[in-house]
Structure 1
């Protein structure tokens, strides 16, 4: 199992090794990671964090001009970064890139913009993505630190949206659904069962991400164990006073985490 996972990691890191300029952070995500037998036509998705997007796109355009649309390649890296900042969510995506026998899609974002969105939920795109399981291929300690706050905020927001009693599965489904709330695509183009498929395919990774927080909330008296629908479940101890006790406890926990952050090295 571990050997297979290691081999999968090496395979996912292939484009970073053989195709693209160096990056400061990278994670892979998508259905190809969550499904045991992914669709052969599905793409592997990457988020690439770089210190200087203008410099990175300049080098990548020299290496891989066909990754960009023809008109964007002609306009150069300045137009690429302008489009990402002014039209997109700070991320520029190159989709449908052929690599070996696979297709990949990669989005490039400045490290400072990545850290800002993770902490503030300003765009709630990258932060929402990192609330769900991803495969980190190039780790960055500063991003790891700020994402700790992101996970705490996602768990806290989900507790406020959940009923008094809920299962572990309910919690992960609510966390997963946060970034899709208000997304009009979920009414039309997107799979309406997307959240269920993500949680079903990534339940153990969700546990690795959020069980430490669950144990923290239990020790702080915010949650307690219960039996609900014949399953191991949790009960919100302070559910009757959600806008006083529960919110205060959660905010205090978040503030303690923020105080311990030193984001001065994030560039």
Structure 2
């Protein structure tokens, strides 16, 4: 149909241009209103509100502004304060068989003190300094933790002189905690909507991003979700006077990895002590599943008797098997043993309640009955486990689904089970969805696997297959997300540290030869 000339007095092209400008104006207004709403939402901190407090609008803090604690922070504090007091809270039966992923408050967890072993004790000032850092982000963060050598020591090296600190103007609490402020602090931020989060963060912190930020939040979120393990890192950025690296990841990605071990990229980090700054009930539930899965996996790789150092070393080493940084010597080859040695009390806090709750493993050391035994870093307590194939078969059955499938396929090949027979066997025993299982006892196939002499080797191989490609993908993604200069700086520092370790080892060997 042809419209009369009066319908477009400026001509067809000008009319189209006018409509386009009007549309742009409407989009800008919508984005501004969305940003305003999100700021109010984040300020109110109704995230993980286990006490269902009424939300209130709080202005965004300047670097020196101290905000009152949010509901989510209060829930985190409550857990941290009680973690050491309730380390041996027995878990309810079947809590992991059919987890409820629709919970919205901490009161809906299996019991009141569920998962409090995950909250590591640090001094109050350092905790507040970390919290102030994440409060500089207006984009809503549902779950956050700090990890790595900047939070918990991994070596017994001498303090770094303040003149060599990477932090421009760090708070005193960070300088004191790091004994000189010598380490970049690593964070993981769990968010609900990846593209929306990056859209807000690009508007506030464009300088945190590489050239990829110029392509918009949609492109950034695609790179995050489609490459590697689903994490987008921004390294070497200064927030609140502190040099940090932060990774952004969707909450569903975290939960899936914690409960199924599809990449072990995030699950592996949370198997070691971390400082949870903002907690979430679903993440606490998923991580407890991750931690008890790590214990079972380590037990399958250990013998009848072992020490707690051997147990924690097996657990801490899971995420480094298949990691290309270890293969190409860009990481300290002694990193795993150093982590366990220097963080032993934290490992005890994390895993002792789970070990004590499992029926087939126990501490076999009279020293464990003395007061304060968990805080003694000089002791290496003994444990033992039941090697009965039926009980170990139950552990095989209760491994995370994606990881267990890899182990099954390895033994299908070893036992030369025909594919159709193998598929029928799996289908007959299938009673689970992606994140839960209801069959607690292992099948004949599980018991046969548990009785094999090469179980240690096969479990290790399954771990490497799980870790390798996501880690490679994240490594290849680094130069694009961080930028070439930042990536080269990160690689150079890791390489220099590895060479320094080699030099120290060579010096130690020379001293031994002379002796």
Which interval holds the TM-score relative to the shorter structure? 0.7 to 0.9
Contact 1:222 1:246 in 2 (8 A): no
2:141 counterpart of 1:23: yes
Give the 5 Å matches for 1:7-156: 7-35=125-153, 37=178, 40-69=181-210, 71-156=211-296
2:237 counterpart of 1:237: no
The correspondence for 1:194, drawn from 332, 335, 353, is 335
Runs of 5+ unmatched residues, structure 2: 1-80, 82-120, 154-176, 367-378, 401-430, 439-515
Comparing 244-253 with 75-84, greater Cα deviation is found at 244-253
Task: Work out the CA distance in 2 between the residues paired with 1:169 and 1:23.
Answer: 35
Task: Work out the CA distance in 2 between the residues paired with 1:138 and 1:103.
Answer: 20
Report the counterpart of residue 165 of structure 1 in structure 2: 305
Tell me: CA distance 1:60–1:249, structure 2 relative to 1, closer, same or farther (3 Å). Answer: closer
Contact 2:361 2:383 in 1 (8 A): no
Tell me: CA distance 1:55–1:22, structure 2 relative to 1, closer, same or farther (3 Å). Answer: same
Tell me: CA distance 1:32–1:237, structure 2 relative to 1, closer, same or farther (3 Å). Answer: same
Task: Work out the CA distance in 2 between the residues paired with 1:213 and 1:182.
Answer: 26
Q: Helix, strand or coil for the counterpart of 1:88?
A: coil
The TM-score normalised by the length of structure 1 is: 0.85
Tell me: CA distance 1:58–1:247, structure 2 relative to 1, closer, same or farther (3 Å). Answer: same
The correspondence for 2:353, drawn from 209, 212, 215, is 212
* Count, aligned residues: 250
Residues 31-73 of structure 1: CA deviation (Å, up to 9, x unaligned): 011126467442111110110010000000000000001x212
Task: Work out the CA distance in 1 between the residues paired with 2:235 and 2:394.
Answer: 43
Task: Work out the CA distance in 2 between the residues paired with 1:43 and 1:160.
Answer: 35
Tell me: CA distance 1:179–1:55, structure 2 relative to 1, closer, same or farther (3 Å). Answer: same
Q: Helix, strand or coil for the counterpart of 1:23?
A: coil
Task: Work out the CA distance in 2 between the residues paired with 1:191 and 1:206.
Answer: 20
CA RMSD between the two structures: 2.6
Tell me: CA distance 1:38–1:113, structure 2 relative to 1, closer, same or farther (3 Å). Answer: farther
Task: Work out the CA distance in 2 between the residues paired with 1:156 and 1:117.
Answer: 16
2:394 counterpart of 1:248: yes
Q: Helix, strand or coil for the counterpart of 1:22?
A: coil
Comparing 48-57 with 33-42, greater Cα deviation is found at 33-42
Report the counterpart of residue 225 of structure 1 in structure 2: 364
1:246 shift after superposition: 1.5
Contact 2:361 2:386 in 1 (8 A): yes
Q: Helix, strand or coil for the counterpart of 2:330?
A: coil
Report the counterpart of residue 265 of structure 1 in structure 2: none
Task: Work out the CA distance in 1 between the residues paired with 2:229 and 2:136.
Answer: 27
1:80 shift after superposition: 0.8
Report the counterpart of residue 263 of structure 1 in structure 2: none
Task: Work out the CA distance in 2 between the residues paired with 1:4 and 1:249.
Answer: 34
1:221 shift after superposition: 3.6
Task: Work out the CA distance in 1 between the residues paired with 2:131 and 2:346.
Answer: 19
The TM-score normalised by the length of structure 2 is: 0.45
Q: Helix, strand or coil for the counterpart of 2:203?
A: helix
Q: Helix, strand or coil for the counterpart of 1:98?
A: strand
1:76 shift after superposition: 0.8
Comparing 15-24 with 140-149, greater Cα deviation is found at 15-24
Residues 124-167 of structure 1: CA deviation (Å, up to 9, x unaligned): 10011111111011100010011111011100000011122111
